[in-house]
C-alpha cells in the first residue's frame, strides 16, 4: 500500500487537467479584458450608425488610397523580407565559418534591439536629400533623387524593421531540414540551385508561409514608420485612424478602419492555416 501511494505521488512534469484549467485562467481573463472586450467595443462603435462608417471610408478617395497603399506596400514588404530573411537564415544554417555566422546574427539582432525611431533615423540618413545615397549619386554627376516621403521609403523602413522577425522564424524551420538531403540530391546529378528548389523549398514552404503571414500582419499595422518616411504621400491605415480620431473626431470611422485591419489579419490567418494545414500547426505546437 505504501509503495502504491509512493508511485502515485512520484513527481511528473505533466500537470493535472483541473490544475491546468486554474493555471490558464489568469491568461484567459487578461485576454478577455484587454483583447476581446475592446474588440467588441470597436465593433459596436463602428456599426453604431448602421455600418455607415464603412461606406464613408470606401467611398472617400483618402480611405481607398490608404487601404490600397497599406495592403500593396505590405505585400511588397512581405516578399522582400521573406527573400532577404531566408537568405540570411540559410547562410546561418549552412555556413561553417563562425565569423560569418556571428556577423549574420549581429546584422539581425542589432536592428531587432533598436527602437523604431532609431531605425527610422538611420533610414533618413541614407535616403534624405543630403543622405548617403544622394551624396554617392552626386559623386557620379547625377542629380539628387527624391526618396523621402515616398512609398518605396516606407517599404524600405518597414522591411528593415521586420527582417529580424523573418530570420528568427525561418531559421527555426531551416534547423529541421537535414542538409545531407541536398548533398544527396547533388550526388544524384542535381545542380545546387536545383537541389535548393526541389528539396529545401518544399520542405520549408509551410514555415515560409507562416513567417510571411506574421510579417504581413505586422506590416499592415505600422504607424511611426509610414508617418516618418512617407508623410502624406504614402498614407497608411494606422495614420488615417489617428487623423480620424484627433482631427475629425470621427470615432466610428476610426473604429471601422481598425476592424478592416483586424479582418484582413484574420483572413490572412485563415488562408495560412488552409495553405499550411491544421496538422502542421498541431505538430509545431506539440514540438514546442
Read off the pLDDT of residues 174-196 as tens digits, 9 standing for 90 and up: 888 888 888 888 888 878 788 88
List of residues 6+ apart from 23 with CB closer than 8 A: 15
CB of 93 within 8 A of CB of 171? yes
Alpha carbon distance 121, 157 (integer Å): 10
CB of 239 within 8 A of CB of 226? yes
Q: What is the pLDDT of residue 191?
A: 82
Q: What is the pLDDT of residue 13?
A: 66
Domains of the chain: 62-287 (1.10.3720.10)
Q: What is the pLDDT of residue 266?
A: 85
Burial of 102 (0-12, 13-18, 19+ CB in 10 A): exposed
Q: What is the pLDDT of residue 83?
A: 94
Crossing angle for the helix pair 116-127 and 132-139, nearest 10 degrees? 10
Q: Which of 62, 65, 227 is CA-nearest to residue 158?
A: 227
CB of 240 within 8 A of CB of 66? yes
pTM for the structure as a whole: 0.83
Read off the pLDDT of residues 34-82 as tens digits, 9 standing for 90 and up: 989 988 998 888 887 778 888 888 888 888 888 898 999 999 999 999 9
- pLDDT tens string, the chain, 288 residues long: the values are 555 555 555 666 666 777 777 788 888 999 999 989 988 998 888 887 778 888 888 888 888 888 898 999 999 999 999 999 999 999 998 888 889 999 999 989 988 888 888 999 989 998 888 888 888 888 888 888 888 888 899 999 999 999 999 999 899 888 888 888 888 888 888 787 888 888 888 888 888 888 888 899 899 988 888 888 887 767 888 888 888 888 888 888 889 998 988 888 888 888 877 877 766 655 554 444
Amino acid at each position: 500500500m505504501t509503495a502504491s501511494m509512493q508511485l502515485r505521488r512520484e513527481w511528473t512534469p505533466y500537470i493535472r487537467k483541473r490544475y491546468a484549467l486554474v493555471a490558464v485562467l489568469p491568461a484567459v481573463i487578461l485576454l478577455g479584458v484587454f483583447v476581446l472586450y475592446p474588440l467588441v467595443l470597436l465593433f459596436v462603435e463602428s456599426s453604431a450608425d448602421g455600418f455607415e462608417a464603412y461606406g464613408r471610408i470606401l467611398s472617400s478617395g483618402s480611405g481607398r488610397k490608404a487601404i490600397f497603399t497599406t495592403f500593396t506596400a505590405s505585400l511588397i514588404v512581405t516578399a522582400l523580407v521573406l527573400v532577404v530573411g531566408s537568405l540570411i537564415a540559410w547562410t546561418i544554417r549552412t555556413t561553417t565559418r563562425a565569423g560569418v555566422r556571428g556577423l549574420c546574427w549581429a546584422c539581425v539582432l542589432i536592428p531587432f534591439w533598436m527602437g523604431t525611431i532609431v531605425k527610422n533615423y538611420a533610414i533618413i540618413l541614407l535616403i534624405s536629400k543630403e543622405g548617403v545615397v544622394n551624396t554617392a549619386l552626386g559623386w557620379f554627376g547625377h542629380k539628387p533623387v527624391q526618396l523621402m516621403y515616398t512609398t518605396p521609403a516606407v517599404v524600405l523602413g518597414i522591411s528593415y524593421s521586420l527582417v529580424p522577425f523573418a530570420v528568427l522564424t525561418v531559421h527555426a524551420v531551416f534547423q529541421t531540414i537535414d542538409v545531407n538531403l541536398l548533398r544527396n540530391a547533388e550526388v544524384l546529378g542535381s545542380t545546387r540551385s536545383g537541389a535548393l528548389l526541389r528539396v529545401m523549398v518544399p520542405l520549408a514552404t509551410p514555415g515560409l508561409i507562416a513567417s510571411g503571414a506574421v510579417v504581413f500582419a505586422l506590416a499592415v499595422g505600422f504607424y511611426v514608420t509610414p508617418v516618418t518616411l512617407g508623410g502624406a504621400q504614402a498614407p497608411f491605415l494606422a495614420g488615417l485612424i489617428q487623423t480620424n480620431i484627433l482631427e475629425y473626431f470621427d470615432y466610428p470611422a476610426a473604429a471601422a478602419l481598425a476592424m478592416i485591419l483586424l479582418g484582413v489579419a484574420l483572413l490572412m490567418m485563415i488562408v495560412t492555416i488552409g495553405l499550411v494545414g491544421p496538422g502542421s500547426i498541431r505538430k509545431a505546437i506539440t514540438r514546442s
